[in-house]
Amino acid sequence: MSRSVRLGMFFPWEDAFLVCFVLILALPNTEAWSKEGHVMTCKIAQALLEPQAAEVVRNLLPDYSNGDLSALCTWPDQIRHWHKYQWTSSLHFIDTPDKACTYDYSRDCHDSHGLKGMCVAGAIQNFTTQLSHYKHGSSDRRYNMTEALLFLSHFMGDIHQPLHVGFTSDEGGNTVDLRWFKHKSNLHHVWDREIILTAAAELYGKDMDLLQKHIQKNLTHGTWSDDMSLWKDCDDLFACPNKYAAESINLACKWGYKDVSPGATLSDKYFNSRMPIVTKRIAQGGVRLSMILNRVLGNHNQDILVPA
Ligand SMILES: [Zn+2]
């Protein structure tokens, strides 16, 4: 399907944005689903913003966030079940055919009714496009732009979580019940949260900030400093989310589903081998989110996102 047709399907989304925005953002955090991963992704991204993009992000954030993007990066999870925002619930993930271990936009990026573009890769394309109009927009579009920023920031986290691009029949591992060390969990939740919490508890004295700083140090002075430019490499902002989704289903097959059967107990062996993948994906999500924001909100000449 041509890009212009896909984009044409996105524009009606903009109409669904305005109502209740301030009210919703003012509510306390009532749901912590995979909160830690999103917070780290957004902190990494914000630290890598160039001055002009950083200023736009600060301007778009509500005052009570004190300029901290990470404080609102879980907002799309908090509102996804609200009637007004139910249309966004399919935008957090991609279901791919069982055992195929591949991702194909035209085959896989749709909601349960088959509506094209309604998946996490399509959402990133849509909200990136919306933000790219910021420089030409008027102030009455501010709330749209704030929502676009928060959705984009959240979905860049989701698309890097390997089990958010998982098999259809087990809902990305959600129906694979198992034990994580001694307590009940499921495979999706292991990748959303358990590995991060266990890493913080076992290796960083339960201090999530220390884990976050360790990831950031690996980016600036350590293991990943040479990889950053490769991660950021993206000729076509519209096509890159498909690359990120393909990476995720590949990792889901190689590491997520591998050697896991329902009812299994996952412990040290699984944790030790998968933890480096989780931290790397959080870092990649942050680096790439900053790349997108710098290009659409910064000084760059970004002209590839205008629909044909
Ligand atoms: Zn999500």
Domain of residue 218, CATH code: 1.10.575.10
Q: Cα(31)–Cα(35) distance, rounded to whole angstroms?
A: 8
**134 lies in some domain:** yes
Q: Which domain holds residue 82?
A: 35-297
Task: Say what percent of the chain tops pLDDT 90.
Answer: 79
| Total domain count, the chain | 1
**30 lies in some domain:** no
Whether the pLDDT of residue 84 is over 90: the answer is yes
* CA 113 to centroid of ligand 1, rounded, Å: 20
* CA 301 to centroid of ligand 1, rounded, Å: 30
**14 lies in some domain:** no
- What pLDDT sits at residue 18? 40
Encode pLDDT of 230-285 as tens digits.
999 999 999 999 999 999 999 999 999 999 999 999 999 999 999 999 999 999 99
**pTM to 2 decimal places:** 0.87
Encode pLDDT of 185-213 as tens digits.
999 999 999 999 999 999 999 999 999 99
- Given a contact cutoff of 8 angstroms between Cβ atoms, the answer to whether 116 and 8 are in contact is no
Band of pLDDT at residue 31, cut at 50, 70 and 90: very low
**21 lies in some domain:** no
* CA 175 to centroid of ligand 1, rounded, Å: 17
Band of pLDDT at residue 3, cut at 50, 70 and 90: very low
Q: Which of 13-27, 61-75, 269-283 has the weakest average pLDDT?
A: 13-27
**17 lies in some domain:** no
Band of pLDDT at residue 89, cut at 50, 70 and 90: very high
Q: Cα(286)–Cα(195) distance, rounded to whole angstroms?
A: 18
* CA 60 to centroid of ligand 1, rounded, Å: 21
**5 lies in some domain:** no
**261 lies in some domain:** yes
* CA 276 to centroid of ligand 1, rounded, Å: 21
* CA 159 to centroid of ligand 1, rounded, Å: 9
Q: Which of 13-17, 119-123, 190-194, 301-305 has the weakest average pLDDT?
A: 13-17
* CA 39 to centroid of ligand 1, rounded, Å: 12
Average the pLDDT over 168-181 and give the result: 97
Whether the pLDDT of residue 28 is over 50: the answer is no
**308 lies in some domain:** no
Give the pairing of strands 183-186 and 177-180.
Answer: antiparallel
The neighbourhood of ligand 1, an ion, using CB within 5 A, equals 77, 92, 158
Q: Is 52 exposed, middle or buried (0-12, 13-18, 19+ CB in 10 A)?
A: middle
* CA 78 to centroid of ligand 1, rounded, Å: 9
* CA 157 to centroid of ligand 1, rounded, Å: 8
